[in-house]
Structure 1
Amino acid sequence: MPLHSVTSLSSSVVLGLWHLQESASELKEQLPHAEQYAALQPLGRDVARTTQWWAGRVLVHRLLPTFTTAIPVLHNNENGRPFFPVLPQYAVSLSHSGEWLAAIVATQGCVGIDIEIVRSKAQKLASRFLSEAEWANAGDETTKYSLYWSAKETLYKLHSRRGLVFKKQIMLDPFWLRNAGVLTGHLLLENFRSQHQIYYTCPATGYVLTYCYEDLPLPLPS
């Protein structure tokens, strides 16, 4: 079944996973406000990314009934972050990779989520996004490099501001790799610093999933 799981993380936060098997046209049939979403669909994407875009919105609408009977339209702000104009207090984050999509919805605060295929590309690009200490901790474990990248993507989405330097402003403490666990991450910005717990798991063979949620929004840059 394409809807793989719906997990309540707290009374105000829910996470969903979708195993993508449908075409874009099949997904449109499952989505409320399909005509409005068609007008919001990004142009110039290939078939796979277009299908993932539609599936992400279907998944979010499967999660919403956990909290509300409202059926709003999901938009993206100038930073690319998804949001509901009619439910401004809600927080939403989406991610897709290969055949899997992940979404997290909260009634307040801020959230971030990322799913990645484990592949050697992350290790090859390590010098661009890992500090020397993080690189040493990753060693020769391919999964760890993908997990580092995913966790930093999650914190980037949690912060929801463009221009963060992954190598210097989003840092992770060393960790031992397990099937699931919690990572400690840090946002190191000029006007504030914050520490966050990033949860991770392996939702399917060859994939890693990371997510983070906070009860209160992060401070705005001064």
Structure 2
Amino acid sequence: MPLYKNISPNLQTNVKIWKIDESYDDLIKSVCLKPKSLERVLDMKSEMHQRGFLSVRCLLSEFGYQDSDLFYDENGKPHLKDGKQISITHSFNFSAVIISDLIVGIDVEKQRDKITIIAHKFIGYEHDYLNEDDENYIKKLTAIWCVKESLYKLFATPGLSFKKHCLVIPFSVNDHETIAWIDYKTKKHCYNIRFLTFEGFTCAYAIS
């Protein structure tokens, strides 16, 4: 399908979200992949992952880029050859890309009850204001995960812990924004985070 959402949080930044309705065959016909990317997608065992990978290349095209414009550093962080900042994510039938002159991070996740099983791995400071009886508890957990994942992608520093080093202040899921901190060794950084929900998914993005 065409682009699902197009968001411009500021003059330097654009977010595009794709709903993956197309088949693998339709997607791979619509993109031009460099040999390394083609090898990578053919080696994927899950068609869902293949479609996610290819939908990201469709999003790149929406920005005016091709697969050949994208490369990854030794830590797996994506970069564009023209120096623009980029972050990429996909989950089930949604993918998203953010491109900016500023350093950015983005994550999209499906809201699922099973996130409660791993909550202890990424919830630290936030435990003080979360309530398991809150009807929005799953949505809040998912939003916090997305926020911390977007910070992790933005900060791109090995050893950063979601639980110990990323802090999300209290928020309402209806606010669609919050403030988060990275407190890592001697570095302390504050970020304004925006998030949105759609069709049972949450997407959050951080801009430095």
The two structures have a TM-score, normalised by structure 2, of 0.89
The answer on whether the counterparts of 2:3 and 2:19 sit within 8 Å (CA) in structure 1 is: yes
Give the equivalent residue in structure 1 for 2:138.
Answer: 142
Give the equivalent residue in structure 1 for 2:155.
Answer: 159
User: Match of 1:197, as an amino acid?
Assistant: N
Matched, 1:206 2:189: no
The answer on whether the counterparts of 2:104 and 2:153 sit within 8 Å (CA) in structure 1 is: yes
Q: Which of 124, 127, 131 is the equivalent residue of 2:120? A: 127
Give the equivalent residue in structure 2 for 1:102.
Answer: 96
Give the equivalent residue in structure 2 for 1:118.
Answer: 111
Give 3-state SS (helix, strand or coil) of 2:149's partner: helix
CA distance in 2, matches of 1:51, 1:159: 27
Number of residue pairs aligned between Structure 1 and Structure 2 = 204
The answer on whether the counterparts of 1:122 and 1:149 sit within 8 Å (CA) in structure 2 is: no
**CA-CA distance at 1:38 after TM superposition:** 1.0
Spell out, residue by residue over 1:13-49, the C-alpha distance to the aligned partner (whole angstroms, 9 max, x if none): 1110101011233222222345463145483441111
Q: How does 1:30-69 map to 2 (within 5 A)?
A: 30-33=30-33, 35=35, 37-41=37-41, 43-64=43-64
Residues 32 and 43 of structure 1: CA distance in aligned 2, closer, same or farther (over 3 Å): closer
The answer on whether the counterparts of 2:12 and 2:102 sit within 8 Å (CA) in structure 1 is: no
Spell out, residue by residue over 1:171-216, the C-alpha distance to the aligned partner (whole angstroms, 9 max, x if none): 11111221x42111111111311000110111x22111100112xx
Greater CA deviation, 2-11 or 29-38?
Answer: 29-38
The answer on whether the counterparts of 2:13 and 2:102 sit within 8 Å (CA) in structure 1 is: no
User: Match of 1:195, as an amino acid?
Assistant: C
The answer on whether the counterparts of 2:106 and 2:206 sit within 8 Å (CA) in structure 1 is: yes
Give the equivalent residue in structure 2 for 1:10.
Answer: 10
Give 3-state SS (helix, strand or coil) of 1:5's partner: strand
**CA-CA distance at 1:139 after TM superposition:** 1.1
CA distance in 1, matches of 2:131, 2:2: 35
Spell out, residue by residue over 1:42-77, the C-alpha distance to the aligned partner (whole angstroms, 9 max, x if none): 834411111111111211221237xxxx88431222
Give the equivalent residue in structure 2 for 1:197.
Answer: 192
The answer on whether the counterparts of 2:165 and 2:183 sit within 8 Å (CA) in structure 1 is: yes
The answer on whether the counterparts of 1:60 and 1:105 sit within 8 Å (CA) in structure 2 is: no
For structure 1, the residue ranges without an aligned partner over 5 or more in a row are: 215-222
Residues 122 and 17 of structure 1: CA distance in aligned 2, closer, same or farther (over 3 Å): same
Give the equivalent residue in structure 2 for 1:170.
Answer: 166
CA distance in 2, matches of 1:44, 1:198: 32
